[in-house]
């Protein structure tokens, strides 16, 4: 709803009320229409201020309404009616003015923002475009190039940048509504024609065609198949080339073409999924999200390799004091230099003063005694990690939370080294840890809800998307990656090349295909794990063929590549070749192709033509199948958790909503049928065997993803 009152004698003050972000629900839109009418009819009123309750102007259209029948007054005429008012209307922007919120502000004649406010048109991130006139008014206000940047990326700008761009007329540190009221008084009686953006022409630009061509090419390249960014460019082009009424028609047409698309549904699902992962209860009734997190004032990081350094930076950037421990003197000196550099660059980027003194470097584990939380980030080796946890248990003050940064080791084994297993959790960071958004917080069987709450809250402070997962091998993300990579290797044996597999996956929308990704992260990492598991080498199980381990198919292709010292980018050779070690441009490698041919010949395998569809189905559906197993076994709370992990940390294209959402879009019956088909062709590959939850969901009519929990009802949740 919206509230109306008269202030300072002649100013009609309209306040949008719909906590927490004053989204433009039907009631709010009706409220605006009614209060604008009141202001118009009130002869005492000479100017109007529109603000939002609770220190937030407006977070845009109500996304929850998009799925159903839209009722109430539509946005476009509502904004036109604001713009048409013959008394100056001023938007008082506190908190955020996003999407429809900024579009309302652009319909006002003046805009005043608080210094801490953020503004933007993020519709593209929801698979939409600013279709309440935003795509037509913003270019008229700030010019085509700046509007293209904001609308195609959806990025939020600070009040200072908004002022520079000309989006707002004034920025204040004071009470924004008071300043806006004063401003409104000062412009009463002014001519408003030049302030109505719909009647203002777009600033002229030479060679418009070349600009749009260049932007369209760039956008298509980075969109990886997403359609909304392309529609956004087309809408801005309409603003630049057509009169306003026709531009609005084009905006409407373009919006209609994407509004009900699968991509828009996927992106809106991702928006709510990311927020939902912060809320769930344990089967026992205990909830970590209502547990009071322990205060963390001082943290410590053990081990200053690549991961440890990134974690130190991420912690220090939240303002925490950090003890950084590395037993090797030379490594410690190098880490100190690297961390200081990263902190300095980060501070420069954020426009704040660097605080290198927050980090204290030491070689002694004893120096962590006063830390409230310790993150162990040493090499991925269970014996070494166990030893460190034993020492931490002896050194740390009572109540210290002990976390391990591991990508898949058993957190409970480490907890058993301490007297307080309830204070042990996993924190699986992704490299580089100060940049990557995802954090898996691993809930061991004995971790307390409070310990998980503390790690989750720390993740939030570090700006991470934190997802609580159960303690199984590989947790959620890496566990699902295993069948995906396994299929990719089998496809090589059957006739594919790394290029073909990567193209198929990149065509699907992944930032990087599986082989280019392996080259980037290093082939030796997985090789070491397989060696430790006793899978590598020719004669692991005497009498078994080389391409089999314990009765299931095994591809030694990646092991053989590693045996050549080809570890990927770092050695200049892997699945591809690189100009020099460390170089990023992957080039086809004739050696690899003839190696694959020789391998197939040795094993009597006849190469066949493999389609992109087969690559996508086998790689993605086995991954999805494993996701269903994880849900069934209770290691993830819901499909939203899995999808958030994949979208935030594994390069899954957001416009496809995450693997579980994607499965529901494809149709669960279809996924089941294809898995059955491939399992029949490859009976020695257990990952292809459809899991029981998938069968159960299909049997009960393939309910939509938000109803899966009713079918799962895991009797043995691990969370």
CB atoms within 10 A of CB 660: 24
Q: Using CB under 6 A, which of the segments 119-127, 455-463, 550-558, 706-714 binds ligand 3H9?
A: 119-127
For residue 196, give both structure tokens.
Answer: 């109505």
Find the binding residues for ligand 3H9 in span 618-647 (CB under 6 A).
none
- Rounded to 5 degrees, what are φ and ψ at 591? -55, -45
Q: Which of 665, 626, 659, 628 is nearest to 644 (CA)?
A: 659
Q: Rounded to 5 degrees, what are φ and ψ at 254?
A: -65, -40
Smallest separation (angstroms) from ligand 3H9 to the CB of 31: 16
**CA of residue 175 relative to chain centroid, distance:** 34
If DSSP codes are grouped into helix, strand and coil, which group holds residue 165? Answer: helix
6-25 residues near ligand 3H9, rule: CB under 6 A: 20-21, 23
| Stretch binding ligand 3H9 (CB under 6 A), from 98-106, 318-326, 465-473, 587-595 | 98-106
463: left (phi over 0), alpha (psi -120 to 50) or beta: left
Q: Are 145 and 202 in contact (CB under 8 A)?
A: no
Per CB under 6 A, which region of 96-104, 179-187, 433-441, 556-564 contacts ligand 3H9?
96-104
Asked if residues 31 and 89 have their Cβ atoms less than 8 Å apart, the reply is no
User: Looking at 123, 493, 614, 640, which residue is catalytic?
Assistant: 123
Q: How far is CA 138 from the centre of its chain?
A: 27
The span from the CA of 112 to the CA of 91, in Å, is 6
Binding residues for ligand 3H9, rule CB under 6 A, total 25
Q: What's the CA gap between 227 and 264, in Å, rounded?
A: 9
Contacting ligand 3H9 (CB under 6 A), which of 31, 100, 354, 649? 100
Interface with ligand 3H9 in residues 56-85 (CB under 6 A): 59-64, 75
Tell whether omega for the bond before 432 is within 30 degrees of 0, i.e. cis.
Answer: yes
| Shortest distance, position 293 Cβ to ligand 3H9, whole Å | 17
- Nearest approach, Cβ of 63 to ligand 3H9 (angstroms)? 4
Which among 44-52, 124-132, 383-391, 409-417 is the span making contact with ligand 3H9, rule CB under 6 A?
A: 124-132
Among 103, 499, 589, 641, binds ligand 3H9 (CB under 6 A): 103
Nearer to ligand 3H9, 268 or 518 (CB): 268
Tokens 């991509």 locate to 263
What is the enclosing helix (H) or strand (E) of 553? strand 552-553
Task: Give the span between the Cα atoms of 573 and 548, in whole angstroms.
Answer: 27
**CA distances, 125 to each of 65, 151, 153, 159, 270 (Å):** 17, 10, 8, 21, 10
User: Can 103 be counted among the known catalytic residues?
Assistant: yes
- Minimum distance between the CB of residue 647 and ligand 3H9, rounded to whole angstroms? 16
Q: Decide if residue 335 touches ligand 3H9 (CB under 6 A).
A: no
Query: Which of 193, 200, 203 lies closest to 244, judged by CA?
Result: 200
What is the C-alpha to C-alpha distance for residues 607 and 462, in angstroms, rounded to an integer? 49
Strand partners, 24: 61
- Tell me whether residue 23 or residue 50 sits nearer to ligand 3H9 (CB atom): 23
> Between 119 and 313, whose beta carbon lies closer to ligand 3H9?
119
Report the distance separating Cα 432 and Cα 307, nearest Å: 7
52 binds ligand 3H9 (CB under 6 A): no
**Should residue 132 be labelled a site residue for ligand 3H9 when binding is judged by CB under 6 A?**
yes
Taking the complex as a whole, the smallest distance from the CB of residue 137 to ligand 3H9 amounts, in Å, to 11
Among 122, 354, 470, 649, binds ligand 3H9 (CB under 6 A): 122
Q: Is residue 126 near ligand 3H9 by the rule CB under 6 A?
A: yes
Site for ligand 3H9 in 239-298 (CB under 6 A): 272, 275
The active-site residue, picked from 65, 83, 94, 103, is 103
To the nearest whole angstrom, how small is the minimum distance from the Cβ of residue 108 to ligand 3H9? Answer: 16
Binding segment toward ligand 3H9, per CB under 6 A, in 128-136, 420-428, 546-554, 571-579: 128-136
- Give the closest residue to 459 by CA, choosing from 427, 419, 495, 496: 427
Binding of ligand 3H9 by 414 (CB under 6 A): no
Binding site for ligand 3H9 (CB under 6 A): 20-21, 23, 59-64, 75, 96, 98-100, 103, 122-123, 126, 128, 130-132, 134, 272, 275
Residues with catalytic annotation? 103, 123
């Amino acid at each position: 709803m919206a509230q109306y009152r008269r202030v300072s004698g002649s100013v009609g003050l309209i306040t949008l009320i719909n906590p927490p972000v004053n989204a433009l629900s039907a009631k709010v839109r009706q409220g605006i229409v009614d209060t604008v009418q009141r202001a118009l009819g009130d002869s005492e009123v000479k100017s109007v201020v529109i603000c939002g309750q609770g220190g937030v102007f407006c977070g845009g259209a109500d996304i929850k309404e998009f799925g159903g029948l839209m009722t109430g007054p539509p946005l476009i005429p509502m904004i036109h009616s604001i713009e048409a008012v013959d008394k100056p209307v001023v938007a008082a922007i506190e908190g955020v003015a996003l999407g429809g919120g900024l579009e309302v502000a652009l319909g006002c004649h003046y805009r005043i923002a608080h210094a801490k406010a953020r503004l933007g048109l993020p519709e593209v991130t929801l698979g939409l475009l600013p279709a309440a006139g935003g795509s037509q008014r913003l270019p008229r206000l700030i010019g085509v190039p700046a509007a293209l940047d904001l609308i195609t990326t959806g990025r939020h700008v600070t009040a200072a940048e908004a002022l520079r761009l000309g989006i707002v007329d004034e920025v204040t540190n004071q009470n924004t509504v008071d300043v806006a009221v004063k401003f409104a008084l000062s412009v009463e009686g002014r001519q408003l024609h030049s302030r109505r953006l719909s009647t203002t022409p777009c600033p002229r630009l030479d060679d418009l065609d070349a600009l749009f061509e260049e932007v369209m090419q760039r956008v298509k390249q980075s969109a990886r198949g997403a359609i909304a960014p392309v529609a956004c460019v087309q809408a801005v082009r309409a603003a630049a080339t057509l009169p306003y009424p026709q531009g609005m028609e084009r905006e409407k047409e373009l919006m209609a073409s994407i509004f009900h698309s699968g991509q828009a549904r996927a992106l809106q699902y991702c928006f709510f999924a990311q927020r939902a992962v912060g809320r769930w209860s344990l089967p026992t009734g205990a909830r970590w999200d209502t547990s009071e997190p322990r205060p963390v004032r001082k943290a410590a990081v053990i081990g200053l390799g690549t991961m440890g350094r990134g974690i130190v930076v991420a912690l220090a950037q939240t303002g925490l004091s950090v003890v950084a421990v590395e037993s090797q003197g030379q490594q410690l000196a190098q880490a100190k230099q690297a961390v200081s550099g990263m902190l300095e660059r980060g501070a420069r980027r954020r426009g704040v003063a660097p605080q290198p003194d927050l980090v204290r470097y030491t070689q002694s584990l004893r120096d962590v005694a006063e830390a409230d939380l310790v993150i162990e980030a040493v090499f991925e080796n269970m014996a070494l990690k166990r030893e460190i946890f034993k020492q931490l248990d002896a050194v740390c003050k009572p109540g210290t939370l002990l976390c391990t940064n591991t990508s898949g080791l058993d957190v409970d084994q480490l907890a058993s080294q301490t007297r307080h297993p309830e204070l042990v959790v996993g924190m699986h960071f992704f490299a580089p840890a100060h940049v990557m958004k995802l954090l898996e917080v691993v809930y061991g069987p004995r971790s307390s809800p409070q310990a998980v709450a503390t790690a989750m809250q720390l993740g939030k402070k570090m700006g991470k998307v934190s997802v609580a997962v159960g303690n199984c091998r590989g947790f959620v993300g890496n566990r699902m990656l295993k069948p995906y990579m396994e299929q990719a290797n089998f496809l090589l044996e059957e006739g594919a090349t790394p290029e073909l597999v990567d193209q198929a996956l990149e065509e699907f929308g992944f930032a990087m295909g599986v082989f280019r990704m392996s080259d980037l992260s290093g082939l030796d990492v997985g090789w070491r794990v397989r060696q430790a598991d006793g899978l590598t080498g020719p004669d692991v199980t005497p009498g078994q063929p080389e391409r089999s381990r314990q009765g299931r198919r095994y591809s030694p292709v990646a092991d053989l590549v590693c045996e050549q010292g080809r570890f990927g980018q770092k050695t200049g050779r892997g699945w591809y070749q690189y100009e020099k070690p460390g170089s990023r441009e992957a080039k086809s490698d004739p050696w690899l192709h003839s190696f694959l041919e020789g391998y197939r010949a040795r094993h009597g395998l006849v190469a066949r033509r493999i389609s992109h569809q087969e690559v996508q189905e086998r790689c993605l559906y086995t991954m999805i199948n494993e996701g269903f197993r994880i849900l069934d076994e209770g290691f993830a709370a819901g499909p939203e958790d899995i999808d958030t992990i994949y979208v935030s940390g594994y390069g899954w294209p957001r416009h496809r909503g995450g693997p579980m959402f994607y499965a529901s879009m494809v149709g669960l019956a279809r996924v089941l049928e294809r898995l059955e088909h491939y399992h029949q062709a490859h009976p020695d590959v257990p990952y292809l065997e459809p899991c029981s939850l998938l069968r159960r969901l299909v049997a009960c009519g393939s309910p939509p993803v938000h109803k899966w929990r009713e079918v799962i009802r895991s009797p043995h949740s691990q969370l």
